[in-house]
Amino acid sequence: MIKVGDRLPEVTFMAGTAEGPKPMSTADVFAGKTVALFAVPGAFTPTCSAKHLPSFRDKAKDLSAKGVDQIACVSVNDAFVMGAWGKDQNVGDAMLMLGDGNGEFTKKIGLELDGSRFGMGARSQRYSMLVKDGVVQKLNVEEGGEYKVSSAEYLLGQI
C-alpha cells in the first residue's frame, strides 16, 4: 500500500469534463501542485454522494486558503459517469472528476476494495490524501464501511 513519502505512480486517468472524457496523466494532475485527492468506492453511491464528495465541494475555499491548488476525486468508474456525477453534485470547476475505469491507479497504490459481494466488482477503498508535486504528504484510509478520516474536514485539520 502507498504510504506518506511515496511518489504516485504514473497512470492516465480519464477526466469527466463538460466537453467529454479528457485523458490526464499523473503528471498533468499533480506536477508542481498541491492536490487534495480523495477516492470513493463508487459515484452516485449513498455515502459518497451525501457526505464524501460534498465535504470537499463545500470546503474548497478553505482548502485553497490552506495552500491546496486542486481538489481531485477518483473512482473506479468511467469518465462519463464521473462527469455526470460532478454535474449532479454541482462541482463546477471546484474539482477534477477522475475516472480510473480499469482500476489501474487504485491497484498500483494498493487501495483496492473487493465489492463483488455487493455486485460492484473491484473498486477503490475510501481515502483522502494530500499530495505535493506527486509525493504523498498525508494519507487517510477508512476502515471498511466507515466515513471518518477521509473527509475534507479531517484533511483540513492536518494541513
- Torsion 23-38-107-8 (CA) sign: positive
User: Is 48 assigned a catalytic role?
Assistant: yes
Q: What DSSP string runs through 52-89?
A: IHHHHHHTHHHHHHTT--EEEEEESS-HHHHHHHHHHT
Residues 6+ positions from 68 with CB-CB distance below 8 Å: 34, 35, 36, 130, 159
Q: Which three cell numbers stand for residue 61?
A: 475555499
Q: Are strands 34-40 and 127-132 parallel, antiparallel or unpaired?
A: antiparallel
Strands 70-75 and 34-40, sheet pairing: parallel
Q: Which residue has the cell 492536490?
A: 35
In 3-state terms, what secondary structure has residue 102? Answer: coil
Which of the following is catalytic: 14, 48, 82, 111? 48
**Catalytic amino acids?**
48
